[in-house]
Amino acid sequence: MMKVLHCYKTYYPDTFGGIEQVIYQLSEGGVSQNIASTVYTHTPKAASEGVLDNHYCVRSHTAFEMASTPFSFSSFHRFKELAKKADIIHYHFPYPFMDLLHFSLKDKRPTVLSYHSDIVKQKSLLKIYTPLMNKFLNSVDCIVAASPNYVESSPILQRFKDKVEVIPYGLNKKFYQNNDPYVIEQWHKRFPDGFFLFIGTFRYYKGLHILIEAAQNSRYPIVVVGAGPIEAELKTQAQQLNVDNIHFLGALEDSDKSALLQLCSCLVFPSHLRSEAFGISLLEGALYSKPLISSEIGTGTTYINIDRVTGLVVPPSNPHALRKAMDYIWNNPEQAKNYGEAAHARFEALFTADKMIESYTKLYKSLLNV
């Protein structure tokens, strides 16, 4: 039994982002590869530990937070204890406090670092952090990126290119099977003629303000699932522009999201900044054989969505181009169906959870020489 220790700043049930989903998929899927996973993380609540489905979670209480980075003095002792029991330590970047935990270890273990994103927003703090970051990235055994696009466009990854491998994120279809016809029927009644769908957290880089601007004077329904820190200003923008065909549904249960993915006409993903390193929602659309619309930002979004093959790719921050793409998909259902079928074929070829887990298992074993 191989023992892997994952380390990231936050995890279920406190947060439900894309990185947390990847860690969960690796931890659960690793069971089939005879891997026992422990996730070490932080929580604003009381420290706790216990089993989550088929893996173990240890949560240290966050003493304070700075620049979206939780810190905990008790972490050093607890992390050392967990690291001693691990065969592999799997870090999830970026999380600067994790670098300090790494260098506090005296007994070194083979290390893998999943490089989920460049640090984009905290530019002034990045200058201070860069020496530690470079030392940390130089010290790990292997760095994994989720797409070749991101490796080519990231100046940080280019610096460490000799130790970078590409393993795309993958999803497990069994988590998306919706067998409740009642839920599907209720959503179909509300949107009987199809709709565009966005799923995600409302953050500055998601481009929802561009989607709202693009939607002016359109008539097709646009369904927005999620919540986040800029929700109020997005709703205000829609009201000011008299956009009444965008439906903000808030955060929904998985069964509802699955039903909407099954029923939608197209998955639209207007993220316009490099903070969007991949785009799990695009994979979800592809899993359901939906055509995709995304922006060219030099990251994994255009590794998933190939222009005029799996959908349409538009310039970032361009409401006119986004609107034109949406109009085309809406008015050309046969072509949209072809894009969706191609998206599903690409999903099966590259983005299943099984492929991701097998690739990481192979990497783990190579570092352990087994």
pLDDT at 165: 98
Same domain, 97 and 164: yes
- Crossing angle for the helix pair 280-287 and 254-263, to the nearest 10 degrees: 60
pLDDT at 167: 98
Same domain, 199 and 120: no
Half-sphere exposure (Cβ direction) of 24: Cα atoms closer than 13 Å = 17
pLDDT at 124: 72
Interval 263-269 mean pLDDT: 98
Residues 6+ apart with CB under 8 A from 184: 178, 259, 262, 263
Instruction: Residue 260: count other Cβ atoms within 10 Å of its Cβ.
Output: 24
Q: What is the pLDDT of residues 119-153, one digit of tens each?
A: 877 677 778 899 999 999 999 999 999 999 999 99
Same domain, 195 and 327: yes
pLDDT at 107: 86
Q: Choose among 145, 169, 168, 141: nearest CA to 158.
A: 145
- pLDDT surpassing 90 at residue 108: no
Same domain, 134 and 219: no
Q: What is the pLDDT of residues 28-51, one digit of tens each?
A: 999 999 999 999 999 999 999 999
Same domain, 124 and 206: no
Q: Which residue segment(s) compose the domain that 78 sits in?
A: 2-172+352-368
pLDDT at 17: 79
Same domain, 187 and 142: no
The CATH number assigned to the domain holding 248 equals 3.40.50.2000
Q: Please give the structure tokens belonging to residue 242.
A: 């008299």
Same domain, 107 and 191: no
Q: Choose among 296, 320, 291, 284: nearest CA to 195.
A: 291
pLDDT at 134: 96
Same domain, 231 and 180: yes
Same domain, 275 and 341: yes
Q: What is the pLDDT of residues 225-246, one digit of tens each?
A: 998 889 999 999 999 999 999 9
Per-residue DSSP letters for 33-59?
GTEEEEEEEEESS--EEEEETTEEEEE
Sequence-ordered alpha helix ranges (H) in 244-332: 254-263, 280-287, 301-304, 319-331
Same domain, 208 and 109: no
Same domain, 13 and 98: yes
3-state SS class at 130: helix
Same domain, 283 and 332: yes
Q: Choose among 290, 273, 173, 274: nearest CA to 223.
A: 290
Interval 44-64 mean pLDDT: 96
Long-range contacts of 231-235, Cβ-Cβ distance < 8 Å, separation of 24 or more:
231/202, 234/202, 234/208, 234/209
Least confident interval from 16-25, 132-141, 209-218, 237-246: 16-25
Higher confidence at residue 123 or residue 284? 284
pLDDT at 175: 81
Domain tally for the chain? 2
Half-sphere exposure (Cβ direction) of 63: Cα atoms closer than 13 Å = 7
Q: Please give the structure tokens belonging to residue 7.
A: 């380390």
- pLDDT surpassing 90 at residue 360: yes
- With beta carbons less than 8 A apart as the criterion, state whether 129 and 119 touch: yes
pLDDT at 126: 78
- Alpha-carbon distance of 219 to 216, in angstroms, equals 9
- Alpha-carbon distance of 180 to 307, in angstroms, equals 34
- pLDDT surpassing 90 at residue 11: yes
pTM recorded for the entire structure:
0.91
Q: What is the share, in percent, of the chain residues with pLDDT greater than 70? A: 99
pLDDT at 221: 98
pLDDT at 201: 87
pLDDT at 267: 98
Q: Choose among 7, 79, 78, 14: nearest CA to 37.
A: 7
